[in-house]
Amino acid sequence: MTDLLHDARVSRGRFLRMMGGLAAAAAVTACSTRPETTATTGSGAATELKFIGVADQKAAMDKLAAAYQQAKPSVRITPSYAPTDQVQTSLRTQLGAGNAPDLHVVYPGNGSAMSMTQIAGAGLLADLSAQAWTKTIPAGFKPAFQLDGKTYIFSAGSSVIGAVYNKKVFEQAGVEAPPATWSEFLALCDKLKKAGVVPIALGAQTPWVTQLITYALVPSTVYAKDPTFDDKQLAGQASFADSGWRQAMEMYLELQKRGFFNDKPNGTTFEQQTAMVATGKAAMAIQVSAVLPDFRKAASSPDDLSMFPLPGADDANSVWIPAGVVVGLGASAKGKNAEEAKAFIDFLGKQENINAWAKEIAAIPLTQDSSSTIDPAVESFLPFTKDRAVPFMDQRWPNAEVQPVHFAVIQELLAGDSTIDEALKKMDEAYRK
């Protein structure tokens, strides 16, 4: 044994020496590259709040975090962003191991593994109910924010689903006013098709895009007729198969049958869908208003794009729209900085900050004052938001399995591999799991 150690010292090969040198060099670099946080806030009194969010929150969150640190220098927010799927995986790992970040992304309502109901239900979200802004949450949005009457998530507002359209293409095809009924909408598509453009770009290769047309139609085909559909469905008194969901699916497939979509929607991605509308190859896309910034970047001029509600009924008065609370954030219930984290959320709840966040993502602010700005593209939705709007459907679904099943059955329907009966049956089965 001693021999071995002795040998180790004297006969180390050139390679090992080189490796040792590299390791030492790396260690030195490691020491010299410590982030400045520890150095500048050297007093030790500063609180670091770790935030994990999705990339879509980056622009708004970075701005407001900077503003907060300005106002309260004793707090430092260290954010980290990633694509949605990876955030979901990494957050669930951290939550599962009992080491939640102080602040993290939360999806409103229920229906996904990172949704307020699921995480708060596991006791992992701090109760925000004492904060002033929670008193002004509009009644229709309460299920998105609250579980058993307590508020667990902050969100800056809502986004809507409708038709994002290219104004130039509409002008060239001689379209004057956006359609107010389903028949007018079909006539519009016909006109666009005859003008030689693809009426509706559909990027169904990207799973979440598949659901948007159903979501845009269901408020009119289901909720306009029965606003309490969600409660009945939860109570087991209603189902997808025996409701306006069937009609919505039929309308979806009618658009395909009439050739209003681009060729091969199942192979077309969200990025390609965006490009088609932005460059005028297609006239519109049924999309959520949150994509407007990206559509505008891709267009030759940002003013080329606007939106109108997709009319899902033949009586203009029974047209309803989907308006969902946008992805928000919550504070960890058990973190050692829970109070500081809640204080930051309280700051976000101030009207000017709600306005700032909403503006960054083209959303309708949760509450509005005179300085609130609303993206001109979504103005046509405002008459609906008061009493003819319903949250995105998944936000009231009892588990996270229904939504992925919805994605899959739509792709199967578009591929002609399934029937509406089978599709709705699968969704009902997933709902009851």
Partner 1 sequence: MTLLTARRTRPAHAGRRRRFGGRFNPETPPWLFAAPALVVYALVVLYPAVSGVVYAFTDWSGIGQDMSFVGLANFRTLLADEQAMGSIGNTLLLTVAIVVVQNGVGLLLALGVHARLKSRALLRVVFFSPVVVSPVMVAFLWKYIYNPDPSAGLNGLLGLRVDWLGDPSVALWSIAGMVVWQYAGYSMVIFLAGLEGVPRELHEAAMIDGAGTFQRFRYVTWPLLAPAVTINLMLSTIGGLKLFDQVFAATNGGPGYATETLSTVLYKQAFVFGKFGYSTAIALVLALFVAAVSLVQVYYLRGREVSA
Partner 2 sequence: MRRTFLLEIVMIAVAVAFLFPVYTLVSLSLKDPGQIAQSPLAPPNPPTFGNFTTAWSAAALGPSLVNSTVITVVSLVALIALGSFAAYFLARVRSRLGYGLYILFLLGIVLPFQLGMIPLYELVTDLGLIGTHAGMILFYTGIQLPFTVFLYTGFIRALPREYAGAAQIDGASHLTAFTRVVFPLLRPITGTVLILNAVFIWNDFFTPLVYLGGSGYETIPVSVFAYVGQYVSQHGLVFAGLVLGALPIVVVFLALQRYVIKGFSSGLKG
Distance CA 142, CA 139 (A): 5
Interaction mask 360-399, partner 2, x per CB under 8 A: -x--------------------------------------
Single-letter amino acid code for the residue at 89: T
The residues pairing with 75 across neighbouring beta strands, listed in sequence order, are 47
Structure tokens at 380: 């046509």
336-351 as b/e: b if 16+ CB within 10 A: ebeebbbbbbbbbbeb
The residues pairing with 76 across neighbouring beta strands, listed in sequence order, are 48
Q: Detail the DSSP E strand segments found in 297-386.
A: 305-308, 321-325, 328-331, 364-365
Interaction mask 232-271, partner 1, x per CB under 8 A: -------------------------------xxxxxxx-x
Residues 200-219 that bind partner 1 (CB under 8 A): 204-205, 207
Does residue 50 bind partner 2 (CB under 8 A)? Answer: yes
Q: What are the residues whose beta carbons fall under 8 Å from the beta carbon of 137, sequence distance 6 or more?
A: 145, 146, 151, 366, 367
Distance CA 433, CA 427 (A): 10
- Residue 7 or 369 having the CB closest to partner 1: 7
CB of 140 to partner 1, least distance (A): 27
Q: How many CB atoms lie within 10 A of CB 269?
A: 13
CB of 320 to partner 1, least distance (A): 29
Distance CA 303, CA 392 (A): 27
- Residue 211 or 353 having the CB closest to partner 1: 211
The partner in contact with residue 266, picked from partner 2, partner 1, none with C-beta cut-offs of 5 to 8 angstroms by kind, is partner 1
Distance CA 350, CA 86 (A): 30
Q: Which residues bind partner 2 (CB under 8 A)?
A: 3-4, 7-8, 11-13, 15-16, 19-20, 22-23, 25-27, 29-30, 33, 35, 37, 50-52, 54-56, 58-59, 78-84, 86, 89-90, 93-94, 96-99, 101, 208, 271, 274-275, 278-279, 288, 290-291, 293-294, 297-300, 361
Q: Which residues bind partner 1 (CB under 8 A)?
A: 4, 85, 88-89, 92, 95-96, 112-113, 118-119, 121-124, 204-205, 207, 263-269, 271-272, 399-401, 404, 407-409, 411-412, 414-415, 417-418
